[in-house]
Amino acid sequence: MDYALIGYPLSDKYREKFEALIGSKPTYLNIPELRRLPIPQMIKTLAGVKAERLFIAMESPGSKPLLPVFYCFAGLSRAKRIQLVNPDLSVKPVSRMTTVKSLFSVLGASVSGRASLWRCRSELNALLQQPRIEVPPPSPGRVLYLKSNLWLGVKAGGSVGHVAGVANALIQAGYPIEFAGAEAPLLVDNASVNVIPPAENHGFPYEVNLYRYQEKFTNAAMAIPTANKPFSFIYQRMSVSNYSGVQLSRQHKLPLVLEYNGSEVWAAENWGKKANFHETAVKAEEVCLKHAHIVVTVSDVLRDELISRGVAKERVVSYPNCIDPKAYDPALFSADRIAAARAKFNIPTDGIVAGFVGTFGQWHGVDILAQAIRKLAFEQAEWLQKHRMHFLIVGDGLLMPKVRETLADPRCAPFFTLTGLVPQAETPLYMAATDILLSPHVNNADGSRFFGSPTKLFEYMALEKPIVASDLEQIGEVLEGGLRANALPKTGPSNASSQLAVLGTPGDVGELCQGIQFLVEQPLWRKTLGKNARKEALAKYTWDRHVGAILERLAATPAVSVPQRRAA
């Protein structure tokens, strides 16, 4: 058996070409998943790899700084041959000597990272003691957009859509974008791009790389010229352990708009592995929240959290995630395009397809969907066959192994397709190729309130598709008044029917099945719910409205003119 080390799930196109190149379907080992393991267990897992060949699949050129880490991980295996497969699918053998040399490179990066950590701690302690600066009201001009996440090779997901949506809406509103990030943004039109790559190698533990990048990112962004084309304000998508927006705001005396999608420290602790240097990461969040003039977030649950953390209500803008109506227009997808998309997976044109699109995060509920498919396959196989029913599951991520395990029984195989990761620009076609779309999100495991604003929900709505969704915080609010999965109507819709979706209890496999079966059997309800949902999305949930709310608050709030603390 062959193995392949990857830093992020491969796109379906690259994976197909990669597997054709090597002539096998390898067992994939995801570096982020390995990092979540205790070090002894991680070493044991890698040492247990006794493959003939171990490939390092490098789809994104931006992932080059990870190569020394890949080599170190590969060196722990007992594979007979190690080979690097580049983005252009060229193959390079990797010697054991290379893996040993990489170990020293990683050790050097680890020492450098520790030094950055100590310097950042000192800066954070000082910033916590200083007041937010007074800045003049923003004047027309460019926006310095900071995407300081150290995420490399991400090609799909809500974050991609959010970055593109906000950036494009700002440009359309007359605010040219000067973008700074580790990689060029996807789907962003007409922005000036400053790629600030991370250091040439990574150290351990992983978190020290964040502080090295914090310093490099800030210095590089400081060097972006401002004299001839002044900035109106700074917009930063908040990322773990990064406070570059605060430093740039103070340096240039510009308002800082901070995008807050939830605590990254909380996410690491509850959805992954508790961060090393936890207290320092918390301080970085507190510094960002204290010094930002406006904090924009995507749900009222997060708004309430921000207020509880000391952010004044008048400094918070809460507006859900949204859609680009030009990209998510059902008129773009002809019957021929939809038929071709289905044919790729051997799905009949006249079949009924229920779809899911996501990055398989723990909150997405894809594991609940897998259980629902299994339940229907075991208990309602004749019904599935009668309606030529098929599930199209688009994406990849942390829960993929669990999904595969749940659906491993041969009885499930005829009724589902796992496409793998699909580039963000292609997901609208996959959604358009379905008859029903699914949003089976689940509660947070720690009992805290679900704070998300699923981008895919609004994309589903805009494509005029009937939806079965969890009645969960914002999802239930957006789809308020929907049909209940446990009390579905016996008759068809009337001309006055205004419902937007079918809603079920989060995590309830039975109700998810009921909602799916109802929509399969009720084409008139499918049509009515889809039309109502699209109308609602266009009326409320477009990125120009989201950005408009930010600009309105920025222009009106007194938070951009905070008095400096006077000396005694």
Could you state, in order of their start, the residue ranges of all structural domains in the chain?
3-94, 130-322+546-560, 330-539
Peptide bond into 325 cis (omega under 30): no
What pLDDT was estimated at residue 568?
33
pLDDT value of position 561:
47
What's the pLDDT tens digit per position in 422-476? 989 999 999 999 999 999 999 998 899 999 999 999 999 999 999 999 999 999 9
Helix and strand numbers (H, E) in the chain are 21, 19
pLDDT at 321 (0 to 100): 97
Distance CA 239, CA 81 (A): 37
Give the residue carrying structure tokens 């004047």: 139
Q: What is the pLDDT of residue 43?
A: 87
Which residues of the chain, if any, have pLDDT below 50? 559, 561-568
Q: Per the structure block, which two tokens stand in for 62?
A: 């931006």
User: Is the CB of residue 212 less than 8 Å from the CB of residue 196?
Assistant: no
| Residue 274 in tokens | 């508790």
DSSP string of 7-55, one letter each residue: SSPPBHHHHHHHHHHHTS-PEEEEHHHHHTS-HHHHHHHHHT---SEEE
Residue-wise DSSP of 391-458: EEEEE-STTHHHHHHHT-STTTGGGEEEEEB--GGGHHHHHHT-SEEEE-----TTSPPP----HHHH
**Three-state DSSP state, 90:** coil
- The predicted pLDDT at position 439 comes to 98
Tell me the two tokens of residue 489: 């109507």
pLDDT of residue 227: 64
What share of the chain in percent tops pLDDT 90?
A: 76
Say what the pLDDT of residue 355 is. 98
Enumerate residues 6+ apart whose C-beta is below 8 A from 214: 116, 120, 148, 241, 242, 243, 244
Superfamily of structural domain 130-322+546-560: Glycogen Phosphorylase B; (3.40.50.2000)
The predicted pLDDT at position 557 comes to 66
Nearest to 434 by CA among 452, 419, 455, 412: 419
Helix (H, G, I), strand (E, B) or coil at 180: strand
Fold agreement (130-322+546-560, 330-539): yes
274: phi then psi, degrees, rounded to nearest 5: -55, 135
Domain range 330-539, CATH architecture: 3-Layer(aba) Sandwich (3.40)
Among 31, 22, 29, 32, which Cα is nearest to 4's?
Answer: 29
pLDDT at 555: 86
pLDDT of residue 345: 93
- What is the structure's pLDDT at 563? 37
